[in-house]
Every structure is written in structure tokens, then in C-alpha cells.
Amino acid sequence: MRHFYPLILQPKPENAITIAVSSRVLFNMEKEQQIYEQQGMEEYIKYQVEHEAEPFSPGPAFSFVKALEAVNTQLRELYPESEELFDVVLMTNNHQNESHDQRLINTIKHHKLFIERFCMTGGNSPIGFLKAYHTNLYLSADPVKVQEALEEGIAAATMFTLEKMKEVSETQLCVVFDGDAVLFSDESERVFKAHGLDKFLEHEDEHKNQPLNHGPLKGFLEALRKLQKKFYSKGRRMDCPILTYLVTARNAGSSGFRALKTLQSWDLETDKALFLAGAPKGPMLEKIRPHIFFDDNKSHVKQAVELGVVACHVPYGIA
């Protein structure tokens, strides 16, 4: 595939923070997907040929990817030789097809995105490719593939199309994590589901000094923290272009203490932590306006999407 920006070399996958993004979440391909599912491959190809010059509109992952590029620009200014950058891989389920490829390339150029790695799986499982790219995060519209990736130990989440998205920062990447079954394991959530709130609070109080086990997205937070520290070492702690939140239904008592204790035991932290004690997350997310929000609870994800917040479902553990 030809280079759009020949003066900027791509980092090696083992040195980069690799974000694998499905073409269906980077761009709005709802109509094309319907044609493929309802009319078959030949009609799909015919449609792509007829619309080759028409770029796809942005999908739910678009602003997130643009924010990654904004962080990369600032990292390159501080560390011109470093390969510790975000590297986006565009994943598509299609076989290699000239009309489809050209439309994707035209769209990337139209939106001035810096994406040079394409992975066309031809309908096969993406797992082998994700492992080869040392993927730190996989975003897809296909919950089956997301589940498969999580089972293989790859951080992954299902994204959903929004009718209208809230405006987000173009210069600072903002990522919001839920706690249980996202950053942490689902061990405490299992207690809550099985025995209710009182037993959950009792359990957390008894184990408040015992760190939780890690959840599926702990590694992604570690990767973000690693890049944050690169900005800190250049005197940019106060205006770091990466901002992280923990937004959890836990309260600020023993259960919240255990969450913070867990992060501390991992030598990790988020920039901000909000303990909502069971209150709805939607209004707070609407105020934060993150580029991406991860939660294992579908109701929280649905509420966020309805408010125009890019939200991802992490189907992990009992979720």
C-alpha cells in the first residue's frame, strides 16, 4: 500500500501502542453492511464501484483516532526518534477488492488520517493478525469477534453507531474506564449479582486492603500511562494531551478505597476518579465528553450512546 506521508516512518509494532480498528466503526458503513448482508457480495462490490469517489462519513471511532494522531504529533515534537507512539491498524472483514480498497484509501485521504496499515481478514478470525500486531486495543462492531479477542487475552470492546455525537477535544485524548470487569476483574461484581448490595459492601470492607485481580483493559491503561509519563518528563504534567478517568458505580467508602488501592498496587492511576454510588453515569459522561468510554454494563453503554457519548461494551466475565 502506498504511503500518504512518506517523511514519517511507521513504528515497529512491538514498540508502538497498536490500536486495531474495524472499518465499520472508523467510518459509517451501515448502508454498505446492509447491502452485503441482504444482497450478497456481488451487489456489495457493484455498489462500491459506483460510489468509489464518495468518501465514507465518520463513524464512532473517528474522533478517537483523530485524538490519537493529535497525541502522536505532540510526541514526535518532544521525541523525534521515539517509536513509542499510537499506531492504528485498519481491520476489514473483506477479501482484497480493488473497489473497496480504493474507496477506503480515498476516504482516509479525504479525512486526512494517517493510517498506513490495512489488515483484510477475508472473513477469517482476526485473532492471529491482532497477535502479530501486538495489539493493545481492538475496536469492532462485531460482538462475536470482540468476545473471541477477549478470550485470547486481547483488550477489546464493541462500538455502537451514534445518531449524533457530542463535540470532543481535538487536542487532548480523553479516555473513561469503568472499574469492575473493565480495569479490574469481575470478582466483586459476582458477589453483587449473587447476593446484593449489602453483601457486596460487606465483602469489599473485608477485602479493602486486598487488591483486585486485573481486568481486560488494565494493559491499555498501562500503555496510556506510559505515554503520559513521557510528557511529564518534559514538564508537561499540567497540559498533558492524555486524560484518563475512572468512573465507577462504587461508592467512596471501602469499595472505592479498594479500587484506588488496586491501582496503587499496580503502580497505576487515573487522572480523575468519580465514585457515583450507583447513580447514572450518563450525565457525568455527557459533561466529561470523552473520546471513548468502556463499560461492561450494557445499560450504561446504551445511556451514554443516547446522550451522544462514544461508548464501548466490554463483554467480560459475568457480563
Nearest residue to 72 (alpha-carbon basis) of 227, 271, 293, 176: 227
The answer to whether the beta carbons of residues 258 and 210 sit under 8 Å apart is: yes
Q: How much is the pLDDT for 73?
A: 96
Q: Which domains does the chain have, with CATH numbers?
A: 17-159 (3.40.50.1000), 173-313 (3.40.50.1000)
Which whole number is the average pLDDT over 251-256?
A: 88
What lies within 8 Å, CB to CB, of 19 at 6+ separation is 65, 68, 86, 87, 88, 89, 135, 136, 137, 139
Q: pLDDT grade, residue 289 (50/70/90)? A: very high
Find the range with the poorest average confidence among 90-99, 134-143, 202-211: 90-99
The answer to whether the beta carbons of residues 22 and 92 sit under 8 Å apart is: yes
pLDDT digits (tens, 9 = 90+) for 40-80: 777 877 888 888 888 999 999 999 999 999 999 999 999 99
What lies within 8 Å, CB to CB, of 129 at 6+ separation is 20, 91, 119, 121
pLDDT digits (tens, 9 = 90+) for 213-244: 999 999 999 999 999 999 999 999 999 999 99
**Chain centre to alpha carbon of residue 130:** 14
Rounded mean pLDDT of the chain? 90
pLDDT digits (tens, 9 = 90+) for 5-43: 444 567 777 789 999 999 999 999 888 778 877 887 778
Catalytic-residue membership of 178: yes
CA distance 43 to 23: 19
At 66, is the secondary structure helix, strand, or coil? helix
Nearest residue to 71 (alpha-carbon basis) of 207, 298, 244: 244
Query: Residue 70 burial by CB count (10 A; 0-12/13-18/19+): exposed, middle or buried?
Result: middle
Q: Which of 87, 142, 178, 186 is catalytic?
A: 178
